[in-house]
A and B are shown apart, each in its own frame.
Chain A
Amino acid sequence: MSDTVKKTLFVDGKEVEFNDEKNLLEVIRKAGFEVPTLCYRPELRSFGACRMCVVEIEGRGIQSSCTMPPEPNLKVHVNSEAVRKVRKSVLELLLANHNRECTMCPRSHNCELQALANKYEIREVKFPSREKLLPIDDSNPALVRDPNKCILCGACVRACSEYQGLEILGFTHRGSKTLVSPALGKKLGEVDCVYCGQCAAVCPTAAITIKSDVQRVREMIADKESTVVCQIAPSVRVAAGEEFGLKPGDNVIGKLAAALRMVGFDKVYDTNFAADVTIMEEGTEFIDRLTNGGVLPLFTSCCPAWIRYIETQHPELLPHVSTTRSPEAIFGSAIKDIAVNRDGFARDKYKIVSFMPCTSKKTECKRPEFAVDGIPDVDCVLTTQELVALIKGSGIDLKNVEPEELDMPFGLYTGAATIFGVSGGVAEAALRTVSEIVTGKPIENIDIKETRGLNRCKELTLELNGQKVKVVIVNTLREAEKMLQKVIDGTADFQMLEVMACPGGCVGGGGQPISCNNPVKKNQRAEGLYNEDSSLQYRKSHENPAVKKFYEEWFEKPGSHKAHELLHTSYINRFETCYKNTK
């Protein structure tokens, strides 16, 4: 019900129309003006902490635009000298408390504070710096916290609360002693963190960064006795190009294959192959539970942050989780098994590296059950950001690399697999196969539109041989928790729950190139995946010829004894591991 009266205000003399923008900042930016921000994140609550978005409003003085609702006839100046002076002092104050070791900082190339300091030509800081550096917390398996880089913008605190509902991080102490920290001053490795990395993704500086394993991979490659192969997750191909000047959503899988061979990988495979296997296993499991009265709703199991969430917060619901391993883990266990037991490689000389959009995968590959004889199935996980560092550090510009084919057979995949990288994709892929197996005829409409889009919660109902099957798809754990409450109180009317912990799914993963200021990028990445899906010859997992052969020659059939041994897993009640002793 839009009001027909046009509402306008003035930005630097230009009349600007506004409607339902949530704050003045959005109005100004939409009109094409630039206002700097550090703490503002369009997907999160406005916080007004960094004071960079201040503007001058005639008759009202200097105001922070991110916390001010737009009003008709305001006369706003976004870049007056008074405003610039405020911003410069604020920057100097922030820099005084910031460890300015910029040349060695992991965020050197994309630090928002550094960029603004440059833009505002801050060449000296009048205020004294912090006397003693605080200790760096590297106890978390995926993330590193450096409080000396923190500007207290609260983006991580809001992300952990608003995306995941976990509130692992909070503000502690007061005034000049204020810190961002987990409860009780604990380290980030000692709490119920699910390692989703969204805190790092929204951090404007290097206060929270991804733990880099790039050097480990370089050493594996340098070891001439080892064969090093890699797998690339679906959403990596539509995001990695951004760091080389390509558009979000540009599919660079061919370029990645070529670049990674130049880096020194012996084979470049695709996680998508294993995603097709996942559908065969999880689909079979779903049909079995549906027809034989198993535990429903079935929860998908691809997202390691989600798995850790269930294990730490709701272990009583673990029987709902599909026992199928994630595609990344399936790739590791199956391909290493084939390499060792069919092709005769020594287990400790056949290395698998995974390129993932995900910080949590760094912990998944360390789960003791994903190892044989103490040797992990996947030897190392690098995030998209680290993949970019690996390629750039090898002197390669991805933009100018001629695309090459992936290695076969584990580089062959269907469209169903490639959409695993976006919220709704796993459900869509599963339904394409499940409905065909159950009804015996191909699904009428292969594009299941209800599963698509970046809404936090989506649902659809399908009829399979007269049986109604309702599927709910959520992204972010805050949204997932709502569904879990329905399961707990018995009002859940759905049979399958797809969960991805990151907003938008893996396209918005914590390990992806930083995109928090531009949520549109996630849409474009998702679009890139759906485009690849519709361009592929095979679009249903069960049609993948390489997967068929994989079962014929090595795993017999989905759900076979061997499949259960290597492609499925069990979960662990981790309820007591943190500060639950007081529950």
Chain B
Amino acid sequence: MSSTEISIEKIDSIIDSIGTEQTYLIPVLQRVQEEYNYLPKDALVRIGVKMGISPATVYGVATFYSLFSLDPKGKYQIKCCDGTACHVRGSMPVLNALKAKLKLEDGQKNSADGLFSIETVSCLGACGLAPVIVINDKVYPKMTPDAVKIAIDEIIKREKGE
């Protein structure tokens, strides 16, 4: 999935600005992810080579933390809250409806058209509006399986209309 051309100079300059010691691996990964919106595989190798960490170890760290993504993210990034309040108010049916709507298999985070990517988060700090999802920066309160399908359809319609 990683066809993004990485810029070795860009990655090197990120590493140089943070530090080449191995302890800076996570901040470096964070900055590189900010740059590309995800962690391209070639970037992981370059980080390993430049910081003297084996690519297997860099890959291990990148796959360990859910904050890192090895897949390119969609144009619309959906954050589905599964914190305690959202969970008891039915966030799982909402999430399942989302996955069904976007035809996502188990573990798959991106829709095939590249339009949507989905992640679960632990709390968005809007428990009064539970269950909540956020698409890019827009908050969708008090979601239900039906409401979430409508929200997605609206975005798709808008995309087609443009």
Q: Do A183 and B58 contact each other (CB < 8 Å), given the known contacts A582-B45, A582-B49, A583-B49?
A: yes
- Say whether A172 faces chain B, with CB atoms less than 8 Å apart: yes
Contacts of B46 in A (CB 8 A): 582
Question: Per-residue CB proximity of A554-583 to B under 8 Å, as 1/0?
Answer: 000000000000000000000000010111
Contact of A183 with B59 at beta-carbon distance under 8 Å, contacts A581-B42, A582-B42 already known: yes
Verify B49–A170 contact, CB threshold 8 A: no
Return the contact of A172 from the options B41, B42, B49, B60 (Cβ within 8 A): B60
Q: From residue 169 to 204 of chain A, which have CB atoms closer than 8 A to chain B?
A: 169-174, 181-185
**Interface check B84, CB cutoff 8 A:** no
CB within 8 Å of A: which of B26-81? 41-42, 44-46, 48-49, 54-60, 63-66
| In the complex, B8 has a CB within 8 A of chain A | yes
Best-buried of A170, A174, A184 by chain B (most CB within 10 Å): A184
Q: A174-B63, A174-B64, A183-B59 are in contact. Are A166 and B54 (CB under 8 A)?
A: yes
A579 CA / B44 CA spacing, docked (Å): 10
In the complex, whether A167 has a CB less than 8 A from a CB of chain B is yes
A457 at interface, CB cutoff 8 A? no
| Complex Cα spacing A523 to B56, Å | 33
Instruction: Check A391 for interface membership: any CB of B closer than 8 A.
Output: no
Q: B45 touching A579 by the CB < 8 A rule?
A: yes
By the criterion CB–CB under 8 Å, are A182 and B56 in contact? yes
Complex contact B64–A173 (CB within 8 A): yes
B57 cross-chain contacts in A, Cβ below 8 A = 167, 170
Cβ-defined contact, B59 with A170, below 8 A: yes
Residue pair B64, A183 in contact (C-beta under 8 Å): no
Rounded to whole angstroms, the CA-CA distance of A170 and B61 in the bound complex is: 10
Residues B1-35 near A (CB distance < 8 A): 6, 8
- Residues of A within 8 Å of B55, CB to CB, are 183-184, 579
* Complex CA distance for A184 and B41, rounded to whole angstroms: 7
Of listed B8, B45, B46, B49, residue having the most chain A CB within 10 A: B45
User: What is the minimal beta-carbon distance from B49 to any residue of chain A, in angstroms?
Assistant: 5
Q: How far is the CA of A161 from the CA of B63 in the complex (A)?
A: 20
1/0 contact string of A36-64 vs chain B (CB within 8 Å): 00000000000000000000000000000
Q: Which residues of A contact B49 (CB under 8 A)?
A: 582-583
Give the docked Cα–Cα distance between A161 and B57 (Å). 11
B59 to chain A, nearest CB (A): 4
Q: List A contacts of B54 (CB < 8 A).
A: 161, 166-168, 170, 183
The one of A167, A174, A583 in contact with B56, judged by C-beta atoms closer than 8 angstroms, is A167
Task: For residue B41, give the distance in angstroms from its CB to the closest CB of chain A.
Answer: 5
Closest CB-CB distance, A120 to chain B, in whole Å?
31
Indicate which residue in A161, A174, A183 contacts B45 across the interface (CB closer than 8 Å).
Answer: A183
Q: Which of these, B8, B44, B65, B66, contacts A184 with CB under 8 Å?
A: B44
Contacts of B63 in A (CB 8 A): 172-174
Q: Which residues of B are found within 8 Å of A583, using beta-carbon distances?
A: 49
Known A167-B57, A169-B56, A170-B54; judge A184-B45 contact (CB<8 A).
yes
Which residues of the partner chain B approach A181 to less than 8 Å between Cβ atoms?
56
| A176 CB, nearest partner CB in chain B, Å | 12
Distance (Å) between the CB of A185 and the closest chain B CB? Answer: 8
Bound CA span A583–B48, Å: 10
Minimum CB–CB distance for A582 against chain B, Å: 4
B-facing residues in A394-428 (Cβ within 8 Å)? none
Nearest A residue (CB) for B59: A183
Give A38 to B60 CA distance when docked, in angstroms: 23
Chain B residues near A171: list those with CB within 8 A: 60, 64
Pairwise interchain contact B59-A172, C-beta atoms closer than 8 A: yes
Contact B45 A170 (CB under 8 A): no
A116 to chain B, nearest CB (A): 28
Best-surrounded residue of B6, B60, B64 (most CB of chain A within 10 A): B60
Q: Tell me which residues across on chain A come within 8 A of B45, comparing CB atoms.
A: 183-184, 579, 582
How far is it, in angstroms, between the C-alpha of A173 and the C-alpha of B63 when the chains are bound? 5
In whole angstroms, how far apart are the Cα atoms of A549 and B46 in the complex? 55
Binary interface profile of A, 60-79, with partner B (CB < 8 Å = 1, else 0)?
Answer: 00000000000000000000
Per-residue CB contact flags for chain A residues 154-173 toward chain B (1 = under 8 Å, else 0) read: 00000001000011111111
| Chain B residue at minimal CB-CB distance from A173 | B63
Q: What is the distance, in angstroms, from A179's C-beta to the closest C-beta of chain B?
A: 9
In whole angstroms, what is the CA distance A161 to B66 when docked? 26
29 CB contacts below 8 A, A to B, read A161-B54, A167-B54, A168-B56, A170-B54, A170-B59, A170-B60, A172-B56, A172-B59, A172-B60, A172-B63, A174-B63, A174-B65, A174-B66, A181-B56, A182-B56, A183-B44, A183-B54, A183-B55, A183-B56, A184-B45, A185-B59, A579-B42, A579-B45, A581-B42, A582-B6, A582-B8, A582-B42, A582-B49, A583-B49
A residues with CB within 8 A of B: 161, 166-174, 181-185, 579, 581-583
B interface with A by C-beta (< 8 Å): 6, 8, 41-42, 44-46, 48-49, 54-60, 63-66
Taking A184-B44, A581-B42 as given, write out 6 further A-B residue pairs in contact, using a Cβ cutoff of 8 Å, ordered by the A residue number.
A170-B57, A171-B64, A172-B63, A174-B66, A582-B8, A583-B49
